[in-house]
Structure 1
């Protein structure tokens, strides 16, 4: 239900984690016969995720026709012209960034067929600006090993899924497998065992006979691409030897934890690392990382929720809403420091439930944890937490979900309530948002700890590697601040702040669009805040060059998603320029439903605004200014621009999304600038049938629509 009214104004009123594979698993979707029994121990080495960078959104760029600076652009010899794009697209279509299994195909390529990295020939240094000496968070690997490394794929018959058991099986032949690196499926060793060696071992838990079959995959030198994977394994081994513990993907210093007793939180400092070639040298990229652990267990949180409600069903719904599916709802198991994402709460299950052991016997959760970890579960009636297996787990053959005990799980991360607490965020930022000197000192201490640890030095010596004693230092240049170009004036911002928002409040945009027919939708209790936003927008948009009529208002009786959708279905005419929705909170289901309707079902530009953003009256004009800029950009306007040296440049961005629920279904996204000042863009979406990163439809994207 909604009520509409026509208000004052002119005219008509119209934006992991890898989980260990030995935790007991099972859920109602899986029969008891298929319930898996898995529990995980030990620190397993995993690859560090690659860092990505965000592209500057198009709404922060604009058009400015200015004289070219410098010499005319040079066309590279052999550059494609005209129909030459066909040659590019045909090669793009054949490029893949991995097979459907997600594993690198280079593991099976002999070193003799691998191309060595080519020396860098292009000089990337410029001359403009003032020189300055800086330090980067990189550590050079000084020595280049001269060894030859044999790479073997390992197979266990019958299959052993748990990595810890695999390591224990391998360790039974210590005399054979000495000085090796093992990531669970691949062994790197200095010794040549032959092409297909076999060994007989016994399972550490069941004493079952296990055949270990090795298959020689490649002979690698330090110049091989495989070396980067090995180097990452070695560096992560150094972190483990230096006393850090693995939580999720990164290692943390438990001996240097910071207790925030006031908030019942513990902050663990740690590091994230990655080894690769940077600027022609092999280096370790290292940066700070922090893990926040709540001292309150999930069980205690459930008790708090149930004490607030007499209706059990209401309490269950509240607990599910708070603990299930949210990005920050990652739990850490206290007995092995592993992290899991909560996907469901099994209210109909309890620790009294039994599951099959590897020897065929039945064991309850209570008995299992008491025998395995000497942990006593106090409440046998508590529900179980469900964590679905990740892609990595499914590749390893683990299809049953993991079942966790609330008593033995602590919530990681920061809740939305904590994020809204200014004093808490200020206190935690004092530990996590460190200045440059503090960051350097902590990274420098990281290097010192490795050099002073004899086990770490022995590990490096085993692989004929040596780390530098300090971070990389080099000379950089401070460039002049760019001129920010508006319609008839330009702004040179404060270099130290890199912020020109104050100057831009009264600047006319390069190209301004009008809001003649737009709709504002809000709950009745937020009427005053919403009307204040409308008045503020009409004031701040006028200096931008935007003509804004008073909107058509839709007032709702509540803030449920269906109320918004019904109001929009009843009130959006064909000529609507924009729909602005005022939301009481950031509920994901409501936001997703509104964006789906306004982007797919009834395409129209939209702007979502939270009431908490508008609640501070003294900041309303500043907030309205930023919203007005966003609206102009969404309508196709151009806000500001910078001088582009060349007039023949096109910037193209591409990405792809692979749907994990529908195998083989992928979506490719393409965006490209369409004018010399890089302030207008063309975008297109392509649906793909295969898991390609560079889509077959690139030629169609480049040609666009006539």
Structure 2
């Protein structure tokens, strides 16, 4: 790298070990071992200016495969990188805070209805109970459907056969000196007193023991690395039995221990088989196969959910990533900005102890030469520290340091300052955006990670058998009187009939196993086509031949769809710079009103895409279509590409493409999803999409820019009000029923949803129109679960067909929840979506709710097939993503009734 392309930091401040003084007046507060928990916050301004250097007694292993030679001191350094209806009893879980709001409302005559979930009035119960133990339905009410054809299935759950019979003493453990933060080191110190402590589980702070040591117990251990005597203090905090609310926490600690005894190692929160790692040398990646497990009670039976997991590790260090970035730029400030954009927010793993962190910043002014004061008062540099602690030699003493904010676990332990990491010893984990855009890379990864049902099932069975047959695992389980079943759970599901897809001129049926009607539907007339009466096509001059061919092809494919297509105005550009495109758009769009602007782009350069979308979506309110040149150049595929573009354009113009039969004639469907703004880290984007006609084929969209929960709640209320107005304007009536599908909510957030969102939604209805009280429901949508299902057919296992419902055995006893497999998995194992009805007074039967949910998975106009979630959720996701990635602000109000974000 040339001198101008280098960059380095300057060591200015010196962190110190807690309890010791800094050798510099502005010194920092401490050196602590980072934990394996990925920080959840990301605002750098909240960092306490106290750098923390990772410490651990764990020695580096040789199990890391890398294609990169560690840089030596002689290598080039990085330099200068400075209706109504009456109110019926709710079928979802009751809300204790909702009752007072409802008492004073004029919402019509009371009518009897089925209730799922009486209120919990004990606030202390709310704070302590596991979310899965909270009741969302009243005992005795129905939660299982009956429609559909029965299908035998296998679920990736294992029954825990023997009932635990034990009494455990729970202790809070502290260490003095308090710099022992490595979980492995703490375990080693406790192991010196194994005969006395009889510990069966330890998570770094909490110890469970069969032995009653009294209220307080103190002992000493010898630190093998530092030679210090460590004082260990145990304070009894509880006595636990199998019925304890902390049982699941303990059970999962037991399971982690079993995986460890089976020879696996933890990365992040899952366990991986290092001996079965896969080196993908072509892309400098290593893939570690492993398992995710969770123990819980399902329909009154204790079971373990187990699924495969894969961890992708980039063998190129963050140091080399920085080198590569700086080699591309002559201006170091531009290189710094590029590095920040590409690396901040990424999850990394250290090579010496396999801990994971999130990069929150890069300290360009700090280097490994910075010093801190050790406990004995001696100043030491990071260079010497890593050599002494890990036997690792830092090759480039001028490289900057990575900054990771302390995790929640760090903060609970009193660590408030940032954690500083050496780029040379860090590797990126997971799949970055650039990797996702690499077709060949993703294809090769999929060959290892998209595992078909039969081999996936066999891997799970092998893992269970390993635990059940391992002498060490069997001995450990005997302490708990626990035993795992040898097989996965058998159960029955139900497969719903395929839907009829209605176009303007005819209806089509699809094959159940495929759930795809693209071939039959491409020449069908749209129910309400969008028209291209006045539109603009913008392209670089040398792209004129392919742009002209696209225009002609669009005319040929859109006319049979019922679309009216006039010849567009065209703008030929001299180059493809963002400012050239913007200048042309300003010249054309600010003085004329177009139905659509179509831009042909030479590549997927993000700054140009963002600038164009921001101008068109915010400043002019014109729907737009961006088309990549390489997409148009695919040999022999222009007709197919133009057909897909034509359908997308029709939807963006407010068209209604196809429909499915919706029995309820006065129904509104709402979808809500959220996305974090990539530019303003403290802001989240909540997208709201609602249907505005009984056929659920026209839409109203809004976004909520939020930094607090209250802003979200207030925003949802405003969105519902405006969506109801839009529905009324189109139908001259209000919807009698409303079903809200709420995506992006984890189990731990359910309490916030029903305590804050539901009461305000209920209040909103009466504010829109006096006496208006629709029958409504809220359903939580969860896509990222680990449940998998296999269809049995003789000796072979297959993916269940689309439309498969599972609503018993592995569902929660006190919830009205179900799983739905709605789409065809062409590769790997189908991933079901979990639906949890937390509030329902629609008077719909269980079959009706399940069937409605499946129907709505057919109405996403970007794909002529079924998708994993109801269309309003996917539309909301697309809108939130566009705003969070490109717009970073609200869009023009003229676009609210169009699917402009497809």
Q: What TM-score, normalized to structure 2?
A: 0.60
Cα displacement string for residues 473-493 of structure 1 (whole angstroms, at most 9, x for unaligned residues) = 223344332211112311111
Structure 1 residues 303 and 688, CA gap change in structure 2 (3 angstroms): closer
Aligned to 1:455: 472
State which of 410, 416, 435 in structure 1 corresponds to 2:427: 410
Distance 1:230 1:252 in 2: 21
Residue pair 2:169, 2:236 contacting (<8 A) in 1 also:
no
Is structure 2 residue 313 aligned with structure 1 residue 293?
yes
For residues 325-344 of structure 1, what are the structure 2 equivalents within 5 Å?
325=344, 329-344=346-361
Is structure 2 residue 553 aligned with structure 1 residue 536?
yes
Residue pair 1:150, 1:191 contacting (<8 A) in 2 also:
yes
For residues 309-328 of structure 1, what are the structure 2 equivalents within 5 Å?
311=330, 313=332, 316=335, 320=339, 323-325=342-344
Structure 1 residues 509 and 270, CA gap change in structure 2 (3 angstroms): same
Aligned to 1:678: 696
Segment drifting more, 655-664 vs 523-532:
655-664
Is structure 2 residue 503 aligned with structure 1 residue 464?
no
State which of 550, 559, 562 in structure 1 corresponds to 2:567: 550
Residue pair 1:20, 1:41 contacting (<8 A) in 2 also:
no
Distance 2:575 2:269 in 1: 42
Is structure 2 residue 340 aligned with structure 1 residue 277?
no
Aligned to 2:53: 37
Structure 1 residues 567 and 285, CA gap change in structure 2 (3 angstroms): farther
Residue pair 1:509, 1:640 contacting (<8 A) in 2 also:
yes
Aligned to 1:229: 249
Distance 2:127 2:220 in 1: 26
Structure 1 residues 22 and 467, CA gap change in structure 2 (3 angstroms): closer
Which residues of structure 1 form unaligned runs of 5+? 1-17, 44-73, 93-103
State which of 267, 279, 285 in structure 2 corresponds to 1:265: 285
Q: CA deviation at 1:257?
A: 1.3
Cα displacement string for residues 682-706 of structure 1 (whole angstroms, at most 9, x for unaligned residues) = 4444557546544364246656968
Aligned to 1:640: 658
Q: CA deviation at 1:448?
A: 1.1
Segment drifting more, 237-246 vs 434-443:
237-246
Q: CA deviation at 1:409?
A: 2.6
Segment drifting more, 370-379 vs 661-670:
661-670
Distance 1:88 1:634 in 2: 42
Structure 1 residues 662 and 503, CA gap change in structure 2 (3 angstroms): closer
Distance 1:368 1:494 in 2: 64
Structure 1 residues 361 and 192, CA gap change in structure 2 (3 angstroms): same
Cα displacement string for residues 50-92 of structure 1 (whole angstroms, at most 9, x for unaligned residues) = xxxxxxxxxxxxxxxxxxxxxxxx9996359xxx9x9579489
Distance 2:325 2:135 in 1: 60
Q: CA deviation at 1:139?
A: 1.5
Aligned to 1:100: none
Which residues of structure 2 form unaligned runs of 5+? 1-31, 38-43, 60-84, 104-122, 711-751, 770-902
Residue pair 1:656, 1:669 contacting (<8 A) in 2 also:
yes
Aligned to 1:67: none
Aligned to 1:440: 457
Residue pair 2:550, 2:642 contacting (<8 A) in 1 also:
yes
Structure 1 residues 312 and 690, CA gap change in structure 2 (3 angstroms): closer
State which of 174, 190, 199 in structure 2 corresponds to 1:179: 199
For residues 92-131 of structure 1, what are the structure 2 equivalents within 5 Å?
109=128, 121-122=140-141, 125-131=144-150
Distance 1:203 1:597 in 2: 66
Cα displacement string for residues 603-649 of structure 1 (whole angstroms, at most 9, x for unaligned residues) = 44333333333331422222222222223223322222222344455
Aligned to 2:649: 631
Structure 1 residues 374 and 509, CA gap change in structure 2 (3 angstroms): same
Aligned to 1:96: none
Residue pair 2:33, 2:54 contacting (<8 A) in 1 also:
no
Q: CA deviation at 1:372?
A: 1.1
Distance 1:580 1:700 in 2: 43
Distance 1:444 1:427 in 2: 25
Residue pair 1:664, 1:690 contacting (<8 A) in 2 also:
no
SS in 2 for 1:618: coil
For residues 235-634 of structure 1, what are the structure 2 equivalents within 5 Å?
235-303=255-323, 311=330, 313=332, 316=335, 320=339, 323-325=342-344, 329-390=346-407, 393=410, 396-413=413-430, 422-524=439-541, 526-573=543-590, 575-634=593-652
Aligned to 2:89: 78
Distance 1:521 1:278 in 2: 57
Pairs aligned (count): 634
Residue pair 2:325, 2:339 contacting (<8 A) in 1 also:
no
SS in 2 for 1:375: coil
Residue pair 1:206, 1:359 contacting (<8 A) in 2 also:
no
Aligned to 2:748: none
SS in 2 for 1:448: helix
Distance 1:105 1:597 in 2: 51
Distance 1:322 1:433 in 2: 30
Distance 2:514 2:316 in 1: 40
Q: What TM-score, normalized to structure 1?
A: 0.75
Cα displacement string for residues 9-51 of structure 1 (whole angstroms, at most 9, x for unaligned residues) = xxxxxxxxx992599xxxx9999983323335669xxxxxxxx
SS in 1 for 2:563: coil
Cα displacement string for residues 515-552 of structure 1 (whole angstroms, at most 9, x for unaligned residues) = 33334444555554444433333332222222233334
Segment drifting more, 539-548 vs 409-418:
409-418
Cα displacement string for residues 113-132 of structure 1 (whole angstroms, at most 9, x for unaligned residues) = x9799997455555554443
Structure 1 residues 342 and 290, CA gap change in structure 2 (3 angstroms): same
Q: CA deviation at 1:391?
A: 5.5
Q: CA deviation at 1:512?
A: 1.7
Is structure 2 residue 761 aligned with structure 1 residue 698?
yes
Cα displacement string for residues 405-457 of structure 1 (whole angstroms, at most 9, x for unaligned residues) = 33323333456666555554443322222211111111111111111222222
Cα displacement string for residues 115-171 of structure 1 (whole angstroms, at most 9, x for unaligned residues) = 799997455555554443222222222233244555555667886682526556655
RMSD (Å) for aligned C-alpha atoms: 4.6
Distance 1:296 1:127 in 2: 54
Residue pair 1:270, 1:288 contacting (<8 A) in 2 also:
yes
Structure 1 residues 636 and 377, CA gap change in structure 2 (3 angstroms): same
Residue pair 2:171, 2:234 contacting (<8 A) in 1 also:
no
Is structure 2 residue 34 aligned with structure 1 residue 20?
yes
Q: CA deviation at 1:504?
A: 1.2
Q: CA deviation at 1:253?
A: 0.7
Distance 1:661 1:421 in 2: 24
Aligned to 2:164: 145
Segment drifting more, 618-627 vs 438-447:
618-627
